[in-house]
Amino acid sequence: MGAQLRVYKRRIRSVTATKKITKAMEMIAASRIVKAQRQVAASTPYASELTRAVTAVATGSNTKHALTTEVESPVRAAVLLVTSDRGLAGGYSSNAIKAADRLTERLRSEGKDVVTYIIGRKGVAYYGFRERPVVESWTGFTDSPTYADAKKVAGPLIEAVQLDTAEGGVDELHIVFTEFVSMMTQSPVEKRLLPLTLDKAEEDEEAKGKILPLFDFEPSAEDVLDALLPRYVESRIYNALLQSAASEHAARRRAMKSATDNAGELIKSLSRLANAARQAEITQEISEIVGGSSALADANAGSD
Amino acid sequence: MAAELHVELVAADRSVWSGEATLVIARTTSGDIGVMPGHQPLLGVLESGPVTIKTADGNVVAAVHGGFISFADDKLSLVAEVAELADEIDVQRAERALERAKSEADAAAERRADVRLRAVTGVH
């Protein structure tokens, strides 16, 4: 076998092996999307019931609560960024990081201090490399988050919100995650969790065309809010984590699908080159044989 | 037919039980509360404890840990971080958890295991 042909054959073998790996990753990601989507759907009743109750308390009572009232001049805002633990998911993590950067920029221009909390190894690595300060980070659960994980994340955030601003507490809580729109589209979104934005809830209420009933609070409106708002934050974070997980799998599936397709293309063009090299080799061998035999014939004719 | 209210029992990661009921008894932070159809709109904080849902075909008992109860327009939602129906509870596991919690003096875990066991046995 000629040297060139051997090089082509070797490259084809290596690309085939890579293609098998990317194909396998694509299939795994595809099966996980379905599971992640089912989890998102399963968590929806809890989230919607909570939102309904929070809206009821916030609109149905005149209680002022630290977690619902807007501070007149907010000085510090917390940003929670959700990225992935693993790479090979196309632009999934970097898109979320970019969205967080834009949000941070905007908050800074409004004169607020920004403190960052990060979920996922990719975000931690990005901030670590640039030596940006991160208050707290969590890793290890981004592909299949549980409610306990969301609770773990929400704990320090709620504490920070409840703390007085002068003592290092935050006035606002924002979250940046990747929304799962469809199998093909996932877009990074930023949302303000606290203080509550009620305009959206009010719109929904108007859409339904009914007035919320006057609730009887047990034991009292303040206590209900106290118990409710941390749950609300947890459930929003849980929902964001689940959506991010679904988006991560979808992004990985797409990235791996294009990698598999590219590997297929590469194998095709390499086989063409290898075939051409083989044919060139055969042609050369034939012309060598023909050339040799005619030289022999010439020599024989000369000796006769 | 007696008036009925619609009950949704949801946990953080799933919907546990839903259906029609005539009476729901749950434990709030200020004591047990019973809700029947036509009750005044209510929003209360739940304690770790058993919840009894009386339906036309018998009682449904569930162990509920944390969360709240909300009632309006004959629709009752029990929203809990963790909720298990009595027949889903693994008694032996709960007993083991109770022993362990007792030996480690973990009051919260002991209470959780105790609530589970009481939900199974139906003793309130």
**Extents of the domains making up chain B:** 5-85, 90-121
- Selection from A179, A158, A180, A181 nearest residue A170 by Cα: A158
Q: Is A304 exposed, middle or buried (0-12, 13-18, 19+ CB in 10 A)?
A: exposed
Q: Does position A6 have pLDDT exceeding 50, yes or no?
A: yes
pLDDT in tens, A130-174: 999 999 999 999 888 988 899 899 999 988 888 877 777 888 899
Distance CA A94, CA A185 (A): 15
pLDDT in tens, B15-69: 888 888 888 888 888 888 888 888 888 888 888 888 888 888 888 888 888 888 8
Residues of B with CB under 8 A from a CB of A: 8, 10-15, 28-30, 33, 40-45, 66-70, 72-73, 77, 79, 81
CATH, domain range A26-256 = 3.40.1380.10
pLDDT in tens, A26-79: 999 999 999 999 988 888 888 888 887 777 777 766 666 666 677 777 888 999
State the pTM of this model: 0.82
In sequence order, what DSSP letters do the residues of B2-16 get, joined into one string? ---EEEEEEETTEEE
pLDDT in tens, A234-259: 888 999 999 999 999 999 999 999 99
**Nearest by CB to B44, which of A46, A56, A218?**
A218
Judged by a CB distance cut-off of 8 A, whether residue A52 touches chain B is yes
Chain B positions in Cβ-Cβ contact with residue A227 (cut-off 8 Å): 29, 45, 68
- Which fold would CATH assign to domain B5-85? ATP Synthase; domain 1 (2.60.15)
Cβ distance B29 to A219 less than 8 Å, yes or no, reads: yes
**What are residue A67's phi and psi, to 5 degrees?**
-85, -10
From A217's Cα to the closest Cα of chain B, the distance in A is 5
pLDDT in tens, A68-125: 677 777 888 999 999 999 888 888 999 999 999 999 999 999 888 899 999 999 999 9
- Judge whether B102 and B110 are in contact, CB under 8 Å: yes
Cβ distance A219 to B40 less than 8 Å, yes or no, reads: no
Buried b (16+ CB within 10 A) or exposed e, A223-239: bbbbbbbbbbbbbbbbb
ipTM above 0.85, yes or no: no
